Amino acid sequence: MEDLKDQQTQEDVGEEDEIVAESAAFVHGDPAQDAKSPPKVDSAVEILHEKVTKQIIKEGRGQKPSKYSTCFLHYRAWTESTQHKFEDTWQEQRPVEIILGKEKTEMTGLGIGVSSMKAGERALLHVGWELGYGKEGSFSFPNVPPMADLLYEVEFIGFDETKEGKARGDMTVEERIGAADRRKMEGNMLFKDEKLEEAMQQYEMAIAYMGDDFMFQLMGKYRDMALAVKNPCHLNMAACLIRLERYDEAIGQCSIVLSEEENNVKALFRRGKAKAALGQTDSAREDFLKASKYAPEDKAIAKELRLLAEHDKVVYQKQKELYKGIFGPRPDPKPKEKENWLVFVWHWLVALFYGIFRLDKRKAN
């Protein structure tokens, strides 16, 4: 398949809020983390509290959040003794929001760790059971045994300072949509500067404003207003992820949009590109064909379908050569050898005696 960095879409992006990601240079990001067990970290141990330590996996930038800041993060959590993973927000592709100083009791240690982090930072936190799920543990969701020390792999996306004492949950619908839209625009500016990781953090924070609990309450024009911000953020996230070669995540972002708008051409197109990059050619073709149905004049879609056809042709030729090599060429028929003249004479004598015998028999009759 043709390298994605050489491909450029011809989409008519009539809106200013959606980036065209396929036109810029390829950027290689960090590979996806292993979600099965805690990461192995060799960096220095920083003591944040008697029961909380931190090891930096990836440095962040900018300022640290202050008390009562609304923080956005992803994390995976394990019990330290058994290495049992009991929570993973990355799987839901939706960041978590906590307000420093107002977090749940079982997240006290996590809050202490987050308060020491900068935007973009990734770290491993060790949290004692006293600042986690306590002496009793949790037997519902998540399932954490009593007195269990915890490990958190945390990625700090960013934070909003509390303004005029108003938390996000106290904002009006218009205020939340407006705040999300500002984050989206900041992400677009970062994207133009080729800062893809930073751009994705802004998009994730914008999406966090449009959480399921919030969207569930919206109807009519307010839901349309929210989707007009939320869906472009998912599409822009997908565009960034394609450039970072994180194709599975890009597929997930596009699928979220398609669950709301099954005929969204940009979502079908970008999901098709991600699938093609993973070698899922049949599924990619389905997406491109569906996108072509709603945008028949789109040259970029036609180009992708042509590339898939050329790819299939190459695969067919390779398979043909492979089978030819396995079975080998058909052997040439061997020419018949000349019969031995003694055998020929013997057959002639037998036929002669048989003829004489039949002649004598007829005479006798």
340 occurs within a structural domain: no
Supply φ then ψ for residue 38, to 5 degrees.
-60, 145
- Total structural domains in the chain? 2
Domain boundary, last residue among 296, 312, 328: 312
332 occurs within a structural domain: no
H or E segment at 97?
strand 96-99
For residue 55, the cross-strand partners are 124
Instruction: Report pLDDT for 359.
Output: 63
DSSP-assigned letters across all residues of 28-55? --PPPPPSSSPPP--SPPEEEETTEEEE
Q: Which residue has the higher pLDDT, 344 or 85?
A: 85
For residues 90 and 189, state if they share a domain: no
d(C-alpha 343, C-alpha 364), whole Å: 32
* DSSP label at residue 22: G
For residues 174 and 305, state if they share a domain: yes
For residues 220 and 249, state if they share a domain: yes
For residues 229 and 293, state if they share a domain: yes
pLDDT digits (tens, 9 = 90+) for 26-82: 233 343 455 688 999 999 999 999 999 999 999 988 889 988 888 889 999 999 999
Determine the angle formed by the axes of helices 265-277 and 247-260, rounding to 10 degrees: 160
212 occurs within a structural domain: yes
Is there a contact between 111 and 105 (Cβ–Cβ < 8 Å)? no
- Of the candidates 130, 126, 141, the one whose C-alpha atom is nearest the C-alpha of residue 88 is 141
For residues 123 and 104, state if they share a domain: yes
Whether residue 191 is predicted with pLDDT greater than 80 in this model: the reply is yes
pLDDT digits (tens, 9 = 90+) for 223-272: 999 999 999 999 999 999 999 999 999 999 999 999 989 999 999 999 99
d(C-alpha 96, C-alpha 208), whole Å: 7
For residues 128 and 85, state if they share a domain: yes
Is pTM beyond 0.75? Reply is: no
For residues 86 and 179, state if they share a domain: no
Is there a contact between 282 and 309 (Cβ–Cβ < 8 Å)? no
Question: What single-letter amino acid sits at 39?
Answer: P
For residue 58, the cross-strand partners are 122
290 occurs within a structural domain: yes
Is there a contact between 254 and 238 (Cβ–Cβ < 8 Å)? yes
Is there a contact between 270 and 284 (Cβ–Cβ < 8 Å)? no
Q: What is the distance between the terminal CA atoms of the chain, rounded to a whole angstrom?
A: 90
d(C-alpha 257, C-alpha 192), whole Å: 23
CATH code at position 225: 1.25.40.10
CATH code at position 86: 3.10.50.40
For residues 247 and 266, state if they share a domain: yes
For residues 134 and 227, state if they share a domain: no
Boundaries of domain holding 103: 46-160
Is there a contact between 72 and 106 (Cβ–Cβ < 8 Å)? no
Domain boundary, last residue among 109, 144, 160: 160
For residues 254 and 218, state if they share a domain: yes
213 occurs within a structural domain: yes
6 occurs within a structural domain: no
d(C-alpha 153, C-alpha 46), whole Å: 15
User: Which CA distances in Å does 309 have to 208, 218, 305?
Assistant: 40, 43, 6
Worst-scoring range by mean pLDDT, 166-170, 273-277, 304-308, 312-316? 166-170
For residues 130 and 179, state if they share a domain: no
Instruction: Report pLDDT for 176.
Output: 87
For residues 196 and 145, state if they share a domain: no
